Amino acid sequence: MNRPEEIKARLDNISQIEGIIGALRAIAAGHQQEARHHLDAVRAHEATVAGALARALATGPAPAPGLRVGGRALLIVSGAAQGFSGDYSDQISKAALSGQTTDLDLMVVGHRTLQTLSEKTPPDTIVWSADMAPHMAEIPTLASRTVDAALSLVAQGSHDRIAILFADAEPQGQRLIRRTLVPFDFGRFAPHPGNQPQTTLSRPDLLAALAEEYVFAEVCEALMLGFASESAARAAAMARAQTNVRRISSDLTRLFSQARQEQMTTEIIELSTNRT
């Protein structure tokens, strides 16, 4: 027979675990909402650069991509930083390796996903990595580091294609997105004739600078969405854990009542026997 004292101790432990799970869920939900709020600023910057590109393109033909034949491809993976987020990291890793070719190298953001991909890819496939920013305010700096590292590899001539893989948790659950960054598609921006700003840069240099700034904005948006998606996955995982803990707590409470009743019955029987 289970002793009531032992069951009560288990109930106390479960209560503490539920408190921790509740705190983790609240933090994850808060991070998700905060990231969504910061997205407005990131997208406003992206729209500003897009407007500048549209005006600059109105002064002449769009540049050709100019790809080098035989170059390697880079995939920036916006992954998970920590655990307790269900199968989120596994989904990201699976998508990163889906259709993988021998000329694909990875740049991984997020320590948890880095561990997973390191176990599943040949040596030297991951050419750069960084942990996800712990706070939203640090994501632009991380995006800048990521873009600098990727464009440096392109400048060295080792790579000529860059894409980014990230998740968007809204509006309908986790959705994985793979977006091409390089070669830069100027065709996305319809030329917009109008008052042209004064600049000391040549047109090719201006377009190259604006294209690089737009890539930075896209990477910043992808990392921010990835941060929000990991937080959403963690909040969902903690909600499931909370449901399970409450079920266990309910079962233990019922078991405690039963054990306490059995103990009291036994004590009454023993008292009655002793008096007889």
pLDDT tens column, 214-261? 999 999 999 999 988 888 888 888 888 888 888 888 888 888 788 778
Residue 197: exposure state from Cβ atoms within 10 A (0-12, 13-18, ≥19): exposed
User: Directed axis angle between helix 88-97 and helix 203-275, to 10°?
Assistant: 140
Name the pTM for this structure. Answer: 0.81
Q: Please say if the pLDDT value at position 4 is more than 80.
A: no
For the segment 87-102, the average pLDDT, to the nearest whole number, is: 86
- Cα separation, 165 vs 178, whole angstroms: 4
Quote the percentage of the chain above a pLDDT of 70. Answer: 93
Query: What pLDDT band is residue 126 in, cutting at 50, 70 and 90?
Result: very high
Query: Quick one: how far is CA 221 from the chain centroid?
Result: 11
- Residue 73: predicted pLDDT: 92
- Residue 174: predicted pLDDT: 75
**DSSP for 197-212?**
PP-SS-HHHHHHHHHH
Contact 225, 39 (CB under 8 A): yes
- Cα separation, 192 vs 56, whole angstroms: 8
- Cα separation, 247 vs 38, whole angstroms: 37
For 53, the token pair is 């590109």
For the segment 168-182, the average pLDDT, to the nearest whole number, is: 84
- Residue 196: predicted pLDDT: 67
CB count within 10 Å of CB 213 equals 17
Q: Domains along the chain? A: 28-234 (3.40.1380.10)
- Residue 95: predicted pLDDT: 92
SS3 of 97-157: HCCCCCCEEEEEECHHHHHHHHHHCCCCCEEEEECCCCCHHHHHHHHHHHHHHHHHHHHCC
Q: Please say if the pLDDT value at position 150 is more than 80.
A: yes
Q: What pLDDT, in 10s, does the model give residues 253-263? A: 888 788 778 77
- Residue 105: predicted pLDDT: 94
Contact 116, 86 (CB under 8 A): no
For the segment 43-48, the average pLDDT, to the nearest whole number, is: 94
- Cα separation, 89 vs 196, whole angstroms: 46
CB count within 10 Å of CB 156 equals 8
Q: Please say if the pLDDT value at position 172 is more than 80.
A: no
Query: What pLDDT band is residue 96 in, cutting at 50, 70 and 90?
Result: very high
Sheet holding 126-130, edge to edge: 126-130, 104-109, 72-78, 159-168, 175-182
